[in-house]
Amino acid sequence: MNRNVTAVAGSSEQIAVNITGVADSAHATAQAITQAQEATASLARMSEELSALVARFRF
């Protein structure tokens, strides 16, 4: 009986560690998505600025 309780406790601890790892990975992914969105917005602004500059040279 003690072995079973110890095994279950060890398994529960490993599950908790795994869940923490998944949560950490999800957080890191969310941060990466935020950075990608910011980079996309920056590129869109640059594109608009470049288009405006090129438009000046058109006749």
The model's pTM: 0.68
What is residue 59's predicted lDDT score, i.e. its pLDDT?
A: 59
| Cβ burial 19-44 (10 Å sphere, 16+ → b, else e) | eeeeeeeeeeeeeeeeeeeeeeeeee
Q: What is the rounded CA–CA span in Å between residue 59 and residue 17?
A: 65
What is residue 2's predicted lDDT score, i.e. its pLDDT?
A: 67
**Over the stretch 1-59, which tens digit does the pLDDT of each residue have?**
667 777 777 889 999 999 999 999 999 999 999 999 999 999 999 999 999 999 998 75
